[in-house]
Structure 1
Amino acid sequence: MANLKEIRARITSISSTMQITSAMKMVSAAKLKKATDAIVMLRPYSEKLQEIIENVSSTTDLEGVSMYTAEREVKKVLYIVVTSNKGLAGAFNSSVIKELNTAISNTKHEVEILSVGKKVYDAVRRSRKVYDNQSAIFDSMSFQGVSNFVENVMNDYKEGKFDKVFVIYNKFINAATQEVHSEQVLPIAMAEKKDAVNTDYIFEPNAAEILNVLMPKSIKTQVYKAILDSVASEHGARMTAMHKATDNAEALRNDLKIFYNKARQAAITNEILEIVGGAEALKNS
């Protein structure tokens, strides 16, 4: 049985851990508000942009218009995988890595990975071919920063280095819920023409040139949205994980305090019994 000094040391250690996890929870809660506002503002723009592309393409013959929509024989696939640079966020990172491994195991094609986040980079750099590592993007998050590396991906796609590009990330639902999503980035998955809304557009200069401008912007926005979703999901997952860790630490500390009080009471009782026994021994001597 642990002595009283060891129990006191454990109680002190757990109390210190509680302070750390509680502080991390508050920091994540503060960052979550900013990250949530960013993704909530971007989603309508991204969705409307995709809707316009689908509606314009429904009235336009896409053959020869854009290489971004043309299906071709798949030989190599690029996965843009978004995790975080830090841990202590529950299953946030492991669920994305698991989805990536499942996707790779289900494909017969050659695979390369563009890692956005140190956690996925550390998980794949020794076992998979890494096309690029963009973990530093979180140090200064901006659309321009994301646009730069997506531009490289688009150029390599046009040159035939990749035949399909997917992005895997955590989609933000709420502070306690994140869903792992895998979305096709290239070629752009167009809706069936019969499902598109028949909108009467006036094109200037023409539909083909408009699509050639909108499609690259839509691709960059899709990846940027996935990263913003992941950032918001990370803070929500970490806040939830630290909240649970704080509650568990508090419950463990309370149990140890009860155990400590019982052990202390038993020690005092033993000391009283020893004193009484010693007094009786002196009296009878």
Structure 2
Amino acid sequence: MANLKEVRIRISSVQSTQQITKAMKMVSAAKLKRATNAIVALRPYATKLKEILGNLSASLEGASSPFIQEREPNKVLIVIVSSNRGLAGAFNMNVIKATNNLIAEKYSDQLKNGNVSIVAIGKKAQDFYEKRNYKVVGNNNEVYSALTFENVTKITDAIMASFEKEEFDRVELVYNRFKNAAVQILTTEQLLPLPKTETDEAVKASNVDYILEPNQEEIVTQLIPKSIKTQLYKAVLDSHASEHGARMTSMDKATENAGDLIKALKLAYNQARQAAITTELTEIVSGAAALNG
């Protein structure tokens, strides 16, 4: 009977866990809708801004903006966008692995010299690299409490100021790009200096002849910081939507697994109960036969 009691307790425990995972799935589904709306609304603006800069790429050569100056990448800053919470499958670990691979493949010498710094947006990445004694700059975990362009711009302004002072020669960005609830695409982009747009004949043919006021150089100089800020904000929104998609998928799978486990436990419980009843009947029949004998 002790065995039956243990199985009953285990069934009750798994049922409680199943209710929690089901509730978390529903919460993530609701948050995913809002996060998806935000990134879908931003993408046309970000794409158009990038297109304008691409069409003005010839002007970038003569622009005096410090954010397009190529330097030898002796000091590198890597911006990692993760989440504050777990229970999202491999979402956070994937972005951390991608960052580690980037460092190993491109910046191993800088890491040996202590010239690789980390800006983590999200507690999971922050904790991971702090525990491994990386140079982690600042704490940006509160940005998810109020995910607005203004709050993300504060982070971008600090990064741009450090780059302008030549504290860093290159800034890389690693995040999960949102495709759908089940698919997140690991993405690595160069944030600073602003990468030059490669122009081929097809791109040149699609260039638009803009009328610029007050002048071309000033417009381009203003567009560059705005493009950098938009790029980081878009990455954070992409990661935010990807997080909820990954958590919804993970909790859905956990709910299914809990259901399968409950079925297996109920089967084991019924088998054990049947065995106990059979044993009791056998003992009764054996006792009656002994008395008659």
CA-to-aligned-CA distance 1:3-28 (integer Å, 9 cap, x gap): 10001010000000000000000000
C-alpha displacement at 1:221, in angstroms? Answer: 0.5
Q: Where does residue 39 of structure 1 map in the other structure?
A: 39
Q: Distance in 2 between matches of 1:61 and 1:260?
A: 73
Q: Where does residue 183 of structure 1 map in the other structure?
A: 189
Q: Distance in 2 between matches of 1:248 and 1:232?
A: 24
Q: Distance in 2 between matches of 1:2 and 1:191?
A: 71
Secondary structure at 1:184 match in 2: strand
Residue 126 (1) aligns with residue 131 (2): yes
| Count of aligned positions | 283
Residue 113 (1) aligns with residue 112 (2): no
Closer, same or farther in 2 for the Cα pair 1:61/1:171, shift >3 Å?
Answer: closer
Secondary structure at 1:30 match in 2: helix
C-alpha displacement at 1:65, in angstroms? Answer: 2.1
Q: Normalized against structure 1, the TM-score is what?
A: 0.96
Q: Where does residue 262 of structure 1 map in the other structure?
A: 271
Which of 219, 227, 230 is the aligned partner of 1:221? 230
Structure 2, unpaired ranges of 5+: none
Percent identity, please: 52
Q: Distance in 1 between matches of 2:247 and 2:9?
A: 27
Closer, same or farther in 2 for the Cα pair 1:268/1:256, shift >3 Å?
Answer: same
Closer, same or farther in 2 for the Cα pair 1:52/1:6, shift >3 Å?
Answer: same
CA-to-aligned-CA distance 1:157-192 (integer Å, 9 cap, x gap): 011011111111111010000011011110111212
Secondary structure at 2:283 match in 1: helix
C-alpha displacement at 1:2, in angstroms? Answer: 7.1
Q: How does 1:1-285 map to 2 (within 5 A)?
A: 3-58=3-58, 60=59, 62-106=61-105, 107=107, 108-109=109-110, 110-127=115-132, 128-194=134-200, 195-196=203-204, 197-284=206-293
Q: Distance in 1 between matches of 2:244 and 2:138?
A: 25
Closer, same or farther in 2 for the Cα pair 1:86/1:206, shift >3 Å?
Answer: same
Q: Distance in 1 between matches of 2:40 and 2:32?
A: 12
Q: Which runs of 4+ in 1 moved over 6 A?
A: none
Q: Distance in 2 between matches of 1:189 and 1:52?
A: 14
Which is richer in helix? 2
Alignment root-mean-square deviation, CA: 1.3
